[in-house]
Amino acid sequence: MATILISGIGGQDGSYLAEQSLAAGHRVVGLLRTGRASRAPENVECVEWDFVSKEGLRAVLRDVRPAHFYNLAAFSTGAGMYDDAVAIGELNGVAVARMLQAIVDVDPEIRFCQASSSEMFGDPIVVPQTEATPFRPLSPYAAAKLFAHTVVNSFRMHRCVFACSAILYNHESPRRGPAFVTRKIVDAVARVRAGDTGKLLLGDLDAQRDWGYAPDYVRAMRLMLAHDRPCDYVVATGELHSVREFCELAFSHAGLDWREWVEGGAADVRQDRRGPRVGDATKLRNTLGWRPETDFGTLVRIMVDAAIASTDARMTT
C-alpha cells in the first residue's frame, strides 16, 4: 500500500484523486494550507503546511513518507486569473519549487505530478496544441503556472526527480466551483426547474472550450506517475464546444428551452482568450493508453442531474 500525498485535496480534482487512490488500496494524505478551511474526503488523513516554509514541508515529507506527491493546489476563481498577482505567483509558482526542493532534500524517490494548465498557451499560434507548442501566457495565473511547469522540467533534467506535468485543459464535474461557467449554467437549470424565473447572464456564448470530465483527467495523472519514465503530457479531449452548445444541452436535458433563460452580454467575458485552445493528447494516448471515457454530452447530463438533485434536496429539508 503506497502513501499518496495530495495538495488541493478539497478541490474538484483532489477529491476525485483521493477516491480513486483509496479505491486502489492506497493510504491518502491531504496537504492542507495552514489556517485555511478545507473539507477532505472520508478516510483521508490531513497535515498542514503554510506553502512558504521549506523546513515545514521537509518535516511533512519525513513524517508522511509518500511514494507519490500530487500538487493540485492552485489559486484561481475561474474568471479571476488577474486577482492578486503576488499571491498567484507565490502559491501557483514559487511553492512548486519549494515542493521539488523538499523532495530532493528528503527523498528523491518520491514521484511528483504538477497540475499544469492550458492557460499557459495563452493566445496559441498552433491549433491543436501539443507538448511542443510554444507557451504565451497572458495572465498572472498562466505565468505562475508556466514558472512551475519550467521548474518541474528543470528538476527532472538536472536533479533526476521523477517529476511530471499534466497540461490540463478545461475539465468539469458536479464538484466544479460555483464561479465557473459550467456550474453557473447547470445551477441555473436546476433553479429554473424549481420555479426560479430569473435569467442567467453570461458573456460570449460563442466562446469555445475543450471540455472534459474531471475523473478522466485525474486517471491520466495517476497513469503518469505509474509509468516507468517521467514526462509531460497534454490532457484534453481534442474537441471544441461552445458555451451556447453547453447551455442548449443542459437546459434541454431538463425539458427547457435555453433561449428563454439565458442572455449573452458583458458578464464574465474573458478578454485574454483569442485563439482556439484545444489539446492534442496523442502522446498521452500512445504512451499511456489514456482516452477520455466520458463524452461531452454525458458530462453535461451528469452535471445537470447533480445540480437538480442538490437543489431538490435543499428544498425538501
| 47/267: higher pLDDT | 47
206 with 217, same domain: the answer is no
127 with 195, same domain: the answer is no
Q: How far apart are CA 36 and CA 51, in angstroms?
A: 11
Active-site annotation holds for 172: no
pLDDT, mean of residues 86-100: 95
111 with 75, same domain: the answer is yes
Active-site annotation holds for 165: no
| Options 76, 116, 117, 165, the catalytic residue | 117
38 with 109, same domain: the answer is yes
Domain containing 47: what range?
3-171+213-235
Number of folded domains that form the chain: 2
94 with 190, same domain: the answer is no
Return the biggest CA–CA distance within the chain: 59
The domain spanning residue 303 has which CATH number? 3.90.25.10
87 with 194, same domain: the answer is no
| Options 7, 15, 21, 119, the catalytic residue | 119
pTM: 0.94
Whether 268 shows a pLDDT value over 80: the answer reads no
187 with 249, same domain: the answer is yes
287 with 153, same domain: the answer is no
Q: How far apart are CA 26 and CA 274, in angstroms?
A: 42
What's the chain's average pLDDT? 93
282 with 162, same domain: the answer is no
Cα 16 → chain centroid: 11
Q: pLDDT tens digits for 28-44?
A: 999 999 877 677 788 89
Rounded to the nearest 5°, which phi and psi values hold at 18?
A: -60, -45
The domain spanning residue 105 has which CATH number? 3.40.50.720
252 with 277, same domain: the answer is yes
| Options 16, 70, 141, 213, the catalytic residue | 141
Active-site annotation holds for 119: yes
52 with 79, same domain: the answer is yes
pLDDT of residue 43: 87
Cell of 275: 485563439
